[in-house]
Structure formats: structure tokens, C-alpha cells
Structure 1
Amino acid sequence: MTALEVRNLHKRYGQHIAVDDVSFTVDEGEVFGIIGSNGAGKTTTVECIAGLRTPDSGSISVLGLDPIKDRAEVRERLGVQLQESSLPDAIRVAEALELYSSFYRNPADWRELMELLGLTEKRNTRYKALSGGQKQRLSIALTLVGGPKVAILDELTTGLDPQARRDTWGLIKRVRDTGVTILLVTHFMDEAERLCDRIAVIDGGRVAAVDTPAGLIAQSSAMQVVAEGLRAGRRNLDDAFVALTRRVPQSPETSESRTD
């Protein structure tokens, strides 16, 4: 079954084209990654999926619903953790989860989420006193408190130390094991390679390739051997990303300095 479907998505801001004919599908139960450099169009794409921005053209389906026309229903089924988010310094972990759960018709048990994400001992801790990793755990919990079928996680581990990043990766796997489909946006290649079942590579607002991590590596390896006469050898997703984004043609509008 398809959880998300994006077809021929376009979005521009004035003369700047942020997203240019992006298409991909996400199957139920998978972790689907979107990778790209800063300004590639990743965040604009997911904001359109979440109904936070209106596309100029194209179509988006979230569990069979249109995120603009069916905004209220989509928000009941879609959890979103945006690239930059914060809470009032004084709010406590349990207070935040209880508050957010009140926004939904059929919320998850926020106490179980605290347990799942290792926050029970911090239930009475104020937001300002949490570590970076603990704030990210709380962010994931708030994303899941509505009991979504699909969760968007945008640049979830940016700014975290290596141990906190690895702890967060483990949490993502545990969330997927509960049956939640995850759309993971990242510019960390090791993160995408470790967590994602399939990945869309976006560059200049366009999709350069969609495949499994191993498939992307194989594509780029074959391409480099043919084009550059390189010997076949061990490559990783970093190598694949560099090779695949080199071949995406960019119009003058999309090659200018830009942000997501």
C-alpha cells in the first residue's frame, strides 16, 4: 500500500524555483529518505506534503488525502517534526505531551510514549534543562502523540553529538517497528544509509534518483567507472550522492543561491 504519493510537484518563490517536477512514492511501513545539499528543495517538499505550503502545481496524496483540501484529516494522521522547533523554556516534559495530546481526537498514550522514548525519568524536567538529545526525543514524542500513521522527521539529528545521533537512530527504528511510516529528511549520508529502505536524491529542486542505498551506490559506481575510467571499488552513499547530483541539469533560475 502507498502511504505518500508526490507527482510533478512544483513550487516557486517569485523568480526562484524551489521544487521543480518532483515525484516519488512512499510505501506503508518503510523509512523513506530525502537527501540533498542545503537549498536543494528538501524542506519545501516536505512542507508541501504537510500542508504548510501550497504547491503551484502537481499533486500530493497522504494516505489517500489531499493535504490542502483535507487539511484537518491529514493533521490527524500525519506527524511532523520540522527542522527548527522549540518549546517554552519553563514547560515540563509531561506537561508538553499532555498538552499536545489534547489537540487530537484519538491521541496515543503520552505516558507510553515517554516510556518508549526514554523520557519517563525526565517527566518533571523543564524544557530548558534538557540536553540536545533529550530535546530531540521529546520532539519525536510530540510528533507521535497524535497517533499518526505517517511521520515526517526533518533534519532530526543536526547539532547532536555522535552518541546522541546514534541513540536517535535507534529510536527511529523503534518507531518504525510500531507501524509508523517515516519520511526522513537529512543531509547526513551515513544516517540515510543506515536507516532508510529507499532514498530520493534531490538536487536543484529535482529528483536525481530514487533507489535503495545499495542501489544508489551501485548506480553511481557503474557511472563513474564508465565516465571516468575509475577502477571498481568500495564506495558509500557519500560517493553516490556526489556522482548522482553532478548529472542533474540546472536552469539559471535553479542554479542561483537559494534556500529550502
Structure 2
Amino acid sequence: MRFGADMMRIGNLAFKNFRNVLLPRHSLGSFPADQPSCGLKQSVEEKLGLPPRPKKPLTPYFRFMQQIRPSIIQKNPQAKATDIVKMVAAEWEKADQGVRDSLQRKFHEEMMEYAEEYTHYQNKLTDKQRQALREAKDQKVREKRKKLIQKKMQEMGKPKRPMTGFVRFMYEQKDKRGSMPFREWQAKVAEEWQQLPDNEKEEYSKKSQRDLADYQERLQEWEERMIRLGHIDIVRKEALIESRDSSRGTLSHRSHSRE
């Protein structure tokens, strides 16, 4: 029973790391974790169960955009969103100075009101709530930075980690899933893997080990190239340490050679 539970845990990990391989793209949205909250993004305050903070007023330009965008879309129904933005910018450049001054005055008045409301809002929060807000916002910044790093890694062609033996076996079974719910199919594959003869499991393991050795070699070459290009933000710390140690060794060797 314990082994089966372990296999399910491995299967869950496999799905998390290799979901794009195991499932077609159109099926990914069928899982609860992928469903948006009615299309609305929650604020940090909403996630913490706090009252919503006051909203900053629109800047003159964005208020201008809000006012004329509907008419521009109506006149140009086939235009792309990027083209609409360019049209709004062009209209802003042609806008009368009186219109701009009026929007600026409105913005200034609303900013004064916002500052008062925000101060009142902050004064109502407890120290514990402020601390929770700070931590949540810091976490949000870390998550955003992590996503940017992952995107950069992908754009710079970082080698992909190979599948483990079990994930490879799971991948080979994916066409047999049919309409079976993923969790049920995952349990079935885990049971089949458990019953697989040891010599067949060994073949999967050997293939994964060969792929892993090739991956580690390609990863090292990629990291060395990234370091040379100055992209140290997407390189592992241990690779940077190895690079520094290698540089010291080279300098030491040159020094002894001169002597």
C-alpha cells in the first residue's frame, strides 16, 4: 500500500514537471488549478481577506484613452489592439491644450482625494495586517522575478532536463488514456509500472541515465556560454563557483609559468 502511495506521489511530481509532454495543450484547462477565478485577478488584499485598498486615479493620458477608445474601436472594428493603442496616441498628440489641462486638473483633484483615502485605509490596518501585506507583496515580487528568469532561460535555449524512467513509461502510455480522468489514468499507469518486470524497468532507468549524462554536459556548456555573455542571473550558483575556481586555477597556472 505504501509503495502505491509513493508511486502516486511520483506521478503527481511527474505531471507537475512534464505536464506539457504528458497532455495535449487543449486538455490542460480541465484541471482546477488552471481555472481562473471567473476571469478576475485577485488583489493581494483580497487574497488576505482584507478590505480593498483605494484605487489610484487614472492619469490624464489613460483617462483620455478611456474616453475615446470606444469610438475608435467602433470606427475601426477590424483593428488590432496594438493598432488601437497607436491611434489613441496619435489622437493624444493632436488633442487641444485645454483638453489636456482639464484632464490634468481632474487628475490632481482625484490624487488629493486618493492620498486622504489611502492614509485613512493604512491607519485602519493592524500591525499584523501590515506585516502580512508586506510579506505577500514580497512574495509576489519573488514569483514575478522567478517567472522572468524562467522565460529568459527558455529564450536563451537552456537545455531541458530529461524524463525519469517512470515519466518516460508514463509518456509512452499517454495515447492509451482516451477519455479517462487524469487521476484515474495516473493511478492505472503507476500500478502498471509497479508490476513491470525489473529487467524492463532497468532499461528505462539506463536510458534516463544516458540522457541525464548528456543533459548535464549540455547544461555545463550552456552555463559557461551564459557566463561569458554576462547572463549570470540565469546560471546556477554552483556553476558560478566552479567558474570562479576555474579562473583562479588558470591565473595560478599562468603565474607559475612566468616564474
TM class by smaller structure: under 0.3
More helix by proportion, 1 or 2?
2
Relative to the length of structure 2, the TM-score reads 0.22
Structure with the higher strand share, 1 or 2:
1
Normalised to the residue count of structure 1, the TM-score between the two structures is 0.22
Rg larger for? 2
